[in-house]
Structure 1
Amino acid sequence: MPQEFSASTVVLTNGDTIRGSLMLHNELDLLLVTMADGTVRTVPALAVRTFAVSGEIMRFDRLPPQYLNSAAFTPARVRRRWHQVQRARPFLVYAWNHDRDYATSSAPAFFERLNGGPVILLRRQQLVQRAVPWSDATMASGYMMRPAGTPYFYTDVRELLYLGTPEGTIVALRRPKRDLLAYFPAEAAQLEQYAHAHGLDFANSAELARLVDYANSLRQLTASAQ
């Protein structure tokens, strides 16, 4: 399933820049950019240097079931089918082996940048459509009437996290805490202390980004002292 954004700026490898609304097909590493004149340009990762998006379009009628009875999502809000999240999000392109450890080849792929650097926390999101039986107790709702037994489909988001190294390679964070501490062995003890002192969760991508930035600062301090 593609992610949709109302605005984007895409810098191509040939130096050109294009702008417009954008559909990101993560499974294909492909962009569909709708230009100002209404034409749609198809751009593979191979042709992209970097891009940034904003105004992610979220469908209220595809929310996970636990949100349906939440006060934050009243019937009127659910009937507003689309919602735009305006936060700007930068993306980079790295060669990726699709997490096949023994692969002999890789291909350009899109990764969202979550922190500063020089070691960068990267994320790939996958939108997955899941079905929940309408008889499930969590689906009880006075404004979402469906025949008995009709499944409700909602969109779940799966995150894959990586480190982008200064050398231009990526390291998969399959178990974020274990793998991050393994990448920063000299800083591991201080990282754990910092996480504990500030209540940071290695499994939370936003908090993990803070930890990577902290690890970068520790490594830079050590380098400058030598």
Structure 2
Amino acid sequence: MNRPLRYCLSLVSSLLPLAAAAQLKSIPQEFAASTVVLTNGDTIRGSLVLHNDLDLLLVTMADGTVRTVPALAVRTFAVSGEVMRFDRLPPQYYNYVSTPPRMRRRWAQVQRARPFLVYPWDHDHDYATSTAPAFFERLNGGPVILLRRQRLVSRAMPWSDPSWVSGYTTRPVGMPTYYTDVRELLYLGTPQGSIVALRRPKRDVLAYFPAEAEQLEQFARQHNLDFNEGAHLARIVDYANSLRQMTASTQ
């Protein structure tokens, strides 16, 4: 085989994994239990699969039947017992000398209850002329609500990077090729029923609460809160709500 041809084949081989990764779709989230309140007033319960990319629920009922429910038909729902796959953890959780106990269990359930709401969404297109119902996880109380959308996607393991595998340039035997990465988008749900995208959370939250901005920054510093962390930002937004309510009660 001549040298140019060998080089071309090598280049194609190196690009194939990248092409495959680009075609990977979002991974649905699975929950052991759910309560779904529909717009027609009915309530259904069962294990649930959330397809965030489609804003679609698959609910397995007690009799084993699976009900497909789009966001258009949902008023609100709550889930618990998220099924997590520990063989899909990011590379930094792997230990090549001894496998930690959490890696020996293929599945585990995170029991924390999580409420979801439905809002009209333009998919973050600035010049969109229409919206569609979409699912958002509720992270705080209100009346201004911190909302979150999560997207699980597969990412290739960087086994070829020596910083991950001490001196090795190939994937260790038995280790997976891909891991699950969680992408997170944050929003504010307004009392009027619209949403505000937090592309730069600190800037956008302070802009939404201009009268309370200085106090919010001071509150964040005092409590070591990060505007980019969902749990931290939920506390900040709750504090902003309390400040607005105090101001309203004195007027």
In the alignment, structure 1 residue 204 sits paired with structure 2 residue 233: no
The 2-side partners of 1:136 and 1:44 are apart by 42
Determine which of 177, 184, 192 is the counterpart of 1:167: 192
- CA RMSD across the alignment: 2.0
In the alignment, structure 1 residue 146 sits paired with structure 2 residue 209: no
The 2-side partners of 1:198 and 1:104 are apart by 41
1:102 deviates by: 0.9
- 1:92 is matched by which residue type in structure 2? L
Question: Counterpart in 1 of 2:107?
Answer: 82
TM-score (norm 2): 0.84
Determine which of 2, 7, 12 is the counterpart of 2:38: 12
Answer yes or no: is the 8 Å Cα contact 1:31–1:42 preserved in 2.
Answer: yes
Answer yes or no: is the 8 Å Cα contact 1:68–1:139 preserved in 2.
Answer: no
The 2-side partners of 1:162 and 1:62 are apart by 27
The 1-side partners of 2:219 and 2:74 are apart by 37
Deviations 1:132-181 (A, max 9, x none): 232333246xxx8428xx97200000100000000000000000000000
Determine which of 209, 213, 216 is the counterpart of 1:184: 209
Question: Counterpart in 2 of 1:3?
Answer: 29
Deviations 1:189-215 (A, max 9, x none): 000000011111101100000000000
Answer yes or no: is the 8 Å Cα contact 2:143–2:241 preserved in 1.
Answer: yes
The 1-side partners of 2:57 and 2:225 are apart by 34
Q: How does 1:90-101 map to 2 (within 5 A)?
A: 90-101=115-126
1:78 deviates by: 1.3
Identity of paired residues, percent? Answer: 80
Determine which of 10, 31, 34 is the counterpart of 2:60: 34
In the alignment, structure 1 residue 156 sits paired with structure 2 residue 181: yes
Answer yes or no: is the 8 Å Cα contact 2:139–2:148 preserved in 1.
Answer: yes
Alpha carbons of structure 1 residues 121 and 20: separation in structure 2 relative to 1, 3 Å: same
SS state of the match for residue 10, structure 1? strand
The 2-side partners of 1:168 and 1:20 are apart by 28
TM-score (norm 1): 0.93
Answer yes or no: is the 8 Å Cα contact 2:57–2:68 preserved in 1.
Answer: yes
Answer yes or no: is the 8 Å Cα contact 2:84–2:109 preserved in 1.
Answer: yes
1:118 deviates by: 0.1
SS state of the match for residue 63, structure 2? coil
- 1:146 is matched by which residue type in structure 2? V
- 2:178 is matched by which residue type in structure 1? F
SS state of the match for residue 159, structure 2? coil
The 2-side partners of 1:139 and 1:168 are apart by 49
Alpha carbons of structure 1 residues 103 and 218: separation in structure 2 relative to 1, 3 Å: same
Question: Counterpart in 2 of 1:109?
Answer: 134
Answer yes or no: is the 8 Å Cα contact 2:71–2:118 preserved in 1.
Answer: yes
Question: Counterpart in 2 of 1:59?
Answer: 85
The 2-side partners of 1:33 and 1:44 are apart by 11
Question: Counterpart in 1 of 2:154?
Answer: 129
Alpha carbons of structure 1 residues 162 and 152: separation in structure 2 relative to 1, 3 Å: same
Answer yes or no: is the 8 Å Cα contact 1:134–1:151 preserved in 2.
Answer: no
Question: Counterpart in 1 of 2:72?
Answer: 46
Answer yes or no: is the 8 Å Cα contact 1:65–1:139 preserved in 2.
Answer: no
